[in-house]
Chain A
Amino acid sequence: MSARWRELAHWLRHDRRAKWLGLLSSGVALAVLPFVLDASVGRTWVRVIDLALLYTMLALGLNIVVGFAGLLDLGYIAFYAVGAYTYALLASPHFGLHLPWWVLLPAGAVLAAFFGVVLGAPTLRLRGDYLAIVTLGFGEIIRIFLNNLNAPINITNGPQGVNLIDPIDIAGVSFGRTNSLLGISFPGTHLHYYLFLVLTVLVMFVCIRLEDSRLGRAWVAIREDEIAALAMGINTRNVKLLAFAMGATFGGVAGGLFSSLQGFVSPESFVVWESITVLCMVVLGGMGHVAGVVLGALTLATLPELLRHTAAPMQQQLFGKVILDPESLRMLLFGLALILVMLLRPAGLWPSPTRRRELTSAHAPGAV
């Protein structure tokens, strides 16, 4: 059997027709996925996949900062918050403004990138561990401001959050309700799925192109040895700032999409643990490896839902009651995963070939 698989893999990799066939079939599979899920396990799962795609975008964004450039950012969720609030405030009854999505998504991205630079600029000189704590503080500052800027002037509506956010509306097709096309009805969750899928693929494409670009190699150089990179003529300041800005951009876009999907945002959604969750996805999948990060994000984002359907009933059967509720189990697994992955597979579950070589070679860079 394994021989046949290897043969298949070889054929898939080397035959052009096979490549196209593979692309086509995975495209078709992804296109019908929401309908299959809807019909088999319920529309809930389409929503779960929607959120998983958002997390994938976030993880890919964070991967630029952590994986490519090697800068540990623990406040990444702040950019997500910036994107989400930009969209929410300008497309809801809160200010009575209803700007279209094609203004708001780019605006959120730009604003997030701006905040990325604002965060990056003063922290450029900091070492990795200082940077971690400063970014964590930055994330909290953003959240605290969002939570408190309802007085004296009500900007963010404070802890109450912003409600009744307009869903994305493309050429009169509102993502907030069910639309029919050619006799097939597309509920809002499905439409969001397609949009998120397209954007996720786009982000993946950008990341893969970045990885092999001049800029991508500059990031890797900084990650491995900043002083050497500087000596090689890399403008480390600008290159680092670019990493922050680009990472933040993806976060900002994902935030805007989150607003459209949920219709409601409040500061509760942007706490420290969310940053750490996204970091877990990056680390688990494989820092610096786009495919690995996607795998990590999809796994961890669907994990809570999977656990709820498997772990809780299983415990119920085995012990007669639920000892570990799915949420605690998820946290335990997160903690364990971070430790075990770093100890046993520092390059992640699906590492990039180069990163694996670097991390497992006898002389690791940066060792004392």
Chain B
Amino acid sequence: MKEGDLSVHLKTAVVGAAAALALVLSGCGKKDEAIKIGHAGPLTGPVAHLGKDNENGVRLALDEANAANIMLGGKKATFAMQSEDDQADPKQGPIVAQKLVDAKVAGVIGHLNSGTTIPASKIYHDAGIAQISPSATNVTYTHQGFKTAFRVMANDAQQGKVLGDYAVHKLGAKNIAIIDDRSAYGQGLADEFEKAAKAAGGQVVTREFTGTDKTDFNAILTSIKGKNPDLIFYGGMDSQSGPMMKQIKNLGIGAKFLTGDGGQTAEFLKLAGDAAEGAYASSPGVPLDKMPGGKAFAEKYKAKFNIEIQLYAPYAYDAANVLLEAMKKADSTDPAKYLPILAGISYQGVTGNVAFDENGDIKGGSISLYQAKGGKWEYLDTVGG
């Protein structure tokens, strides 16, 4: 084994690599007949069921579009979904986004969480592809100046505003204590709530903080008790608000309790037990049976996937349909052509009318309010929409 042998080896290696490269390049060159629509969300991990739910919503929309013989550019269009798993991990967001861009998708429905949606949005923006999130509600997402970012659900600012108004005007709160969990979601919602509550004439007597890994809230609740508020608002998830509710009752605090969509869950009712009684919570959108096309959609969904809708599937379905509608109107899957149409669209979806404002937020997104009664969330009211 001397130099000569080595150079032969090197040569074969180089030739081999070049051949592999050529093969791959030629593979890329082949045009896929189907138009790819991307979906991204957590398909593994703790919220995988929600990610799958969104995926099903998109799948349903695409299957219907394929059955409807849509013509684009004079040819019958077939759509195929490429679904990627972002594990709800902020670091995975851009990686998955890049994967979809690599695959040359015509548009993306996703992601599920704000934490992944925001870093991913830059990749879609750079590639010039439309991104419609069915469920990311953090304000930042649509306020980065990206013309490619849209969402079909009211954002945290819209929700916080409604909650603040509601607390003061409907629940008659004058002295309000606010707690948040120092997550992007909880803090954002609590800030917006504070602004709105103050604007409505309420007084914020104290602001306390906790964390997403906490279960003991006695210290901050005791401090709140000393300030005698008539309403406690919590910005955060059910895993904290549930146990918190118990401790509020144990400490003998009589204030009303109000929280956002992170607490409007069955999990909250379970964790809080009897202490949940009387708590208020909001959720963006309207309950399924109050949606214009809710009942029909639920039946369709059940018939196709043989499971119940988890949470956001109707929004994912609408997001996909809005995207397809824009493509139809533009008669093209080229983002440069359909993006301006998408921005100005007005589409009657399952969840209501979908139209976007100048940021890409849904116009007049509605927020519904609920109260815990007898171990169930009872629908109270819908604001906006």
Contacts and interface: CB of A to CB of B under 8 A. Distances in A.
Contact of B99 (A4, A42, A164): A42
Interface residues of A, number: 43
Nearest to A46: B98
Interface stretch (A211-219, A240-248, A286-294, A319-327): A319-327
21 contacts: A11-B2, A39-B21, A39-B24, A39-B28, A42-B98, A47-B98, A48-B95, A51-B91, A147-B182, A159-B186, A159-B187, A160-B138, A160-B140, A160-B188, A188-B126, A189-B98, A262-B94, A262-B119, A266-B90, A268-B90, A269-B90
Contact of A158 (B21, B144, B187): B187
B102 interface: yes
Interface in A317-335: 322, 325-327
Contacts of A21: 6
B101 A327 contact: no
Given A163-B118, A312-B44, 6 more contacts: A17-B3, A39-B28, A43-B102, A325-B44, A325-B45, A327-B87
Interface residues of B, number: 42
A114 interface: no
A327 B45 contact: yes
B214 to A, nearest CB: 13
A306 to B, nearest CB: 13
Interface of A is mostly: helix
A141 interface: no
- Which of B21, B24, B126, B184: most chain A Cβ within 10 A? B184
Contact of B44 (A11, A47, A48, A327): A327
A36 B184 contact: no
A36 B17 contact: yes
Interface string A164-202: 100000000000110000000000110000000000000
Interface in A290-322: 305, 308, 312, 322
A268 B28 contact: no
B184 A161 contact: yes
Interface of B is mostly: helix
A39 B187 contact: no
A231 to B, nearest CB: 45
A25 interface: yes
Interface in B88-129: 89-91, 94-96, 98-99, 101-103, 115, 118-119, 122, 126
Contact of B102 (A8, A42, A326): A42
Contacts of A161: 118, 184
B187 A160 contact: yes
Contacts of B187: 150, 158-160
B10 interface: yes
Nearest to B184: A159
B209 interface: yes
A266 to B, nearest CB: 7
Interface of B: 1-3, 6, 10, 17, 20-21, 24-25, 28, 44-45, 48, 85, 87, 89-91, 94-96, 98-99, 101-103, 115, 118-119, 122, 126, 138, 140, 144, 182-184, 186-188, 209
B292 to A, nearest CB: 34
Interface in A229-266: 262-264, 266
A25 B94 CA distance: 32
Contacts of A150: 187
Given A25-B10, A47-B95, A325-B44, A177 B126 contact: yes
A266 B209 CA distance: 18
B74 to A, nearest CB: 31
A44 interface: yes
A352 interface: no
A42 B24 CA distance: 10
B76 to A, nearest CB: 29
Contacts of A148: 182, 209
A354 interface: no
A358 interface: no
A44 B122 contact: no
A160 B94 CA distance: 17
A326 B95 CA distance: 15
Interface in A22-55: 25, 36, 39-40, 42-44, 47-48, 51
A22 to B, nearest CB: 10
A44 B99 contact: yes
Nearest to B146: A164
B45 to A, nearest CB: 6
A21 B6 CA distance: 10
A21 B96 CA distance: 38
B119 A263 contact: yes
Contacts of A176: 126
Contacts of A325: 44-45, 48
Given A263-B119, A264-B118, A163 B98 contact: no
B134 to A, nearest CB: 21
A225 interface: no
A234 B209 CA distance: 47
